[in-house]
Amino acid sequence: MSDWSGRRLHVVGIAGAGMSAYAIVCRALGAAVTGSDRAESPYLERVRAAGIEAAIGHAAANVPAGEGVEVVVSTAIPASNPELEAARERGLRVLSRADLLAELTRLKRTIAVAGAHGKTTTSSMVAHALLGCGLDPAYVIGGTLSTTQTNAAWGSGEWLVVEADESDRSFLAIDVDVAVVTNVELDHHTEWPSLAALRDAFRQFLDGAPLAVLPPELLPLRGAGRSVEFGGWAGPELAVPGGHNRSNAAAALEAAVLAGAPREQAAAALATFGGAGRRFETLGRTASGAVVVDDYAHHPTEVAATIAAARELGFGRVVAIFQPHLYSRTQHLFRRFGEALAAADLPAVLEVYPARERAGDFPGVSGRLIAEAAADAGGGKRVLWLPDFDAAERVLRAELREGDVLLVLGAGDVDALGRRLLS
């Protein structure tokens, strides 16, 4: 049933890229939707434009009165959240992000993009290709699709394009018709005890889909069902730089073709893809003339790929400031982060963005570990340790010059620093 006009949903954490997308499509399906979050964000503008009321700050009073309200929460919401506590006290139904996504994937044929890296860009590319071929898909994406300037829509076509996330195992709960896996790499160390366990989960994800799109090295994960292999991009020149984006486009093309898009038309559409929000997104120029590019890169592989993509564009100097995301990830990967950042002409590191973690649970872990690792990997190369935004803004304003590109990297709020440098 695709008419949700009798449902009342309250989304806790509605200002995030993913949760705002769910709220928008639920409203498009006819549900009455409200929400809340701790702070404003660009995504709230779209949420409110869709007719959704969103409160700033968490309080039990934000949960609408009456029976039948369903409260939707992400894994980032702690059990002590007052709205979640109110829902339990009132006996309201509580849905996880995975629960809601599972419902949505039962409404249309679904292309689900999984992988440690490239989910948002590849799913955006698939949606862009289908739109370019007139297939009008629904999509729920964790970043703004440049084609439509939104992260979600409930199109009239038969296909739904979603990201399938392994961070909370939600990718195992959804109904999938075409499974796309870009890569498998251990990223969420508190969720997965080993790479072997993660590969087993990806194998289970693939077993649930009749069709799969995979790079050659992951074909052994596929059991029964048809598989399509993707490799390098062989179509027209892309508008987005980097070898990782050429690989993403190759995967997106095969998925679009499986969904009924003509190959040549889909490839031509992909050549016009302008990017996704916070994925090598040009924010503007500083007063000194440096170009500022924002990217969600929060894993060493992604940091390295973003720096390599910037090199392709021929800037005089690549300056990269990185905000580590999660103490647990920093603890496990600080040396690899340092090695990746050392590829920049001038690496800089901020303090860790804690998200759902607490510094006290990770004694001795800070962004400085990555800064020191970058200096070691760079053979004594100059590396900036800039713990807070004020220090970073002051130093970078004095440092940046015409011909530089500043890469603002991380999954936290580091994009705000990039925007401050433009003002």
Q: Which residues are catalytic?
A: 119-120, 163
- Pairing, β 93-96 against β 32-37: unpaired
Q: What is the largest CA-CA distance in the chain?
A: 64
d(CA 248, CA 170): 22
Please say whether the beta carbons of 126 and 255 come within 8 A. yes
Angle made by CA atoms 311, 315, 317, in degrees to the nearest 5: 90
Whole-angstrom CA distances from 216 to 36, 156, 197, 251 are: 43, 34, 20, 11
User: SS3 of 74, please?
Assistant: coil
CA 2 to mean position of chain CA atoms: 26
* Phi, psi at 179, each rounded to 5°: -100, 125
* 288 SS3 class: coil
Closest CA to 408 of 395, 423, 392, 394: 392
Q: Which residues pair with 36 in a beta bridge?
A: 12, 55
